[in-house]
Homo-oligomer: A and B are copies of this chain.
Amino acid sequence: MSTLLEHGRTHDCGSLRAADVGATVVLFGWVHRRRDLGARIFVQLRDRFGITQVVFGKDLDAAAYEAASGLRGEFCVAVKGEVVARGDNSNAAMATGEVEVNATELQVFSPADTLPFNVADDDKLDASEALRLKHRYLDLRRPSLQKNFVLRSRLATLTRITLAEQGFLELETPYMVKYTPGGARNFLVPSRLNPGMFYALAESPQIFKQLFMVAGMDKYFQICRCFRDEDLRNDRQPEFTQIDVEISFATPERVFAPIERLIRRAWSEVLGVTLPDPFPRMTWAEAMNRFGSDKPDLRFGLEFVDITDLAHKSGAKIFEAAKLVKAIVVPAAHSESLSRGRIDKLTELVKKRESGGAKGLAWAKVQEGGSWTSPLTKAISAEFQAEISARVGAEPGSVVLVVADEPHTVHAALNALRLELRDSLDLVKHSGSDPWRFLWVTDFPLFEKSERGYVSSHHPFTSPRLDQLALLDSDPSQVLAQAYDLVLNGNEVGGGSIRIHQSDVQAKIFQVLGLSEAQIQQKFGFLLDAFRYGPPPHGGIALGLDRLSMLMCGAQSLRDVIAFPKTQKGTDLMTGCPSGADDAQLAELYIGHRDLPATPES
């Protein structure tokens, strides 16, 4: 029974062509589809590389034909036979469609029960995601998912090759690390050898990669797992993968260059797409000003136009008190479907808290000459209407949408509006331009203000711009960081910064953050120790490999590029995880259950 296995396949199921006609071949694969026409049984044999049609007939080989009559979907089999031309019956939709294999031998490696869902009809998949996750090993047979993982693997390999070529060392950092009380984002691991003590699962290699720089490793990278015990929103996973990079003697440009190089190479080799060199850069301030977002989607227009001065002079009461008035213009080509009803919906959108909570949305349909059809025509003279129309570049038929409010409200509301219009008006498709818009957003604010005072926008080792150190005393809110994000089509795919290596600057930052000496020592003591011994200037970045893969694949969910993902409840439906633990094991770890809800599941 193992003869063909020992012989080995001569080809995979995606490789036979007309040039192979006449060859005797051995193929291994799964029964993708099977049609029994009596005298002939046709089997589409599938593996990761493609599909080949195999023909069984009594006249071709009686024993093989007999065996083939017992085949069902997803049996795993070996076939030996002769490659023949299909001639007029060629199937242009299949890479192997010019040929088929007349089978002379069939061996069944293993049979298959009826599948819980059909993997062959990848396009019309109707199984629930829960059912597919429970049988993930079958879900992953679907050609569309396999394609994702082939692509992800290539992205990872190209990343490694490209960084290694540029002198980066791939170095590993521990996953079981020091737990720092106070943060709530760590998974904990009780230590059996150290009673009452816990490890944390590393949420990132941040501190270790900085220590690599102190150690003189010069350029480090790692594709590593990170762990965060967060409430899982739609597209989060408790463990995720990042491309982690750190560089000694870094400037932002010295970080951008190798990252751009690996992304350009991956897009070129995997997708055949030539990306610009260099990627465009935009300061955070400009991004907020033009798009109201620190991750602007540049694939379409609808940029914001500041009309504060005109609005104030217009005499309209609703604009009078607003600190900022900005507009976006929906061009005539796309504005037709913006009925009164649609605009009412958009008004509701901008009023939502998560969209900025604006007080309202003003709108105007622009006529010939620049005057408006709008609820505002009574409040604003035709002259001002035309002046505003000219300022925002509105042509007849355009719809102008205006929000007047506090700056951050205006930006948040118009950003929400812009993205909603992108989706509902299908603007990316219509804009027809470059579908891959990478962008570096730079010069983020160093701090954010919270109720408790200043907190770091990124992390407390982020370097301020060195020309702004004086502002740390006078107005920390104005200090810009040497921090940057890599944005793709409106998604943040990476972020990083130049780090602080000067102890005086670090001390000042801790002071602004209001950290006590004890807190500093507990949280960062060993890092500050390290920085006493000649740390080099350094900086780095981390890219989300999951998200980058997802966007590269055109997938809709991270779960489509993670082989064995967890649900939003952090469960694995296939293995039934997490699960209860026996008490003896818990005792060994010096822990016990407590405060379990009334009907514990364990």
Contact = CB atoms under 8 A, between A and B. Distances in A.
A593 B196 contact: yes
Given A196-B602, A537-B5, A589 B188 contact: yes
Contact of A196 (B135, B238, B580, B588): B580
Interface string A529-561: 111111111000000000000000000000000
A530 B596 CA distance: 33
Contacts of A572: 174, 177-178
B170 A579 contact: no
A227 interface: yes
Contacts of A156: 170
Interface in A180-200: 181-182, 184, 187-200
From A172, A536, A562, residue with most partner B Cβ within 10 Å: A172
A112 interface: yes
Interface in A545-602: 562-564, 566, 569-572, 574-582, 585-597, 600-602
B571 A194 contact: yes
Interface in A104-141: 109-113, 115, 135-141
A171 interface: yes
A503 B568 CA distance: 34
B534 A74 contact: yes
Given A2-B466, A110-B502, A564-B173, A181 B582 contact: yes
B601 A197 contact: yes
A529 B574 CA distance: 10
A376 interface: no
A211 B136 contact: yes
Contact of A577 (B184, B199, B574): B199
A48 interface: yes
B564 A534 contact: no
Q: How many copies of the polypeptide does the oligomer hold?
A: 2
A526 interface: yes
How many residues of A sit at the interface, in one of the four size bands? Answer: 35 or more
Nearest to A588: B184
B597 A195 contact: yes
28 contacts: A2-B537, A5-B537, A6-B251, A48-B216, A48-B217, A48-B218, A75-B534, A76-B536, A110-B535, A113-B532, A137-B215, A138-B214, A138-B215, A140-B216, A160-B160, A174-B566, A175-B239, A176-B187, A182-B582, A184-B585, A188-B189, A188-B589, A193-B569, A194-B570, A195-B595, A198-B578, A586-B594, A591-B592
- In order of increasing CB-CB distance, the 4 nearest A-B pairs are A140-B215, A178-B577, A197-B578, A112-B534
Interface of A: 2, 5-6, 8-9, 12, 28, 30-31, 46-49, 74-76, 109-113, 115, 135-141, 146, 149-150, 153, 156-157, 160-161, 164, 169-179, 181-182, 184, 187-201, 207-208, 211-212, 214-218, 225, 227, 229, 231-232, 238-239, 241, 248-249, 251, 254, 466, 501-503, 526, 529-537, 562-564, 566, 569-572, 574-582, 585-597, 600-602
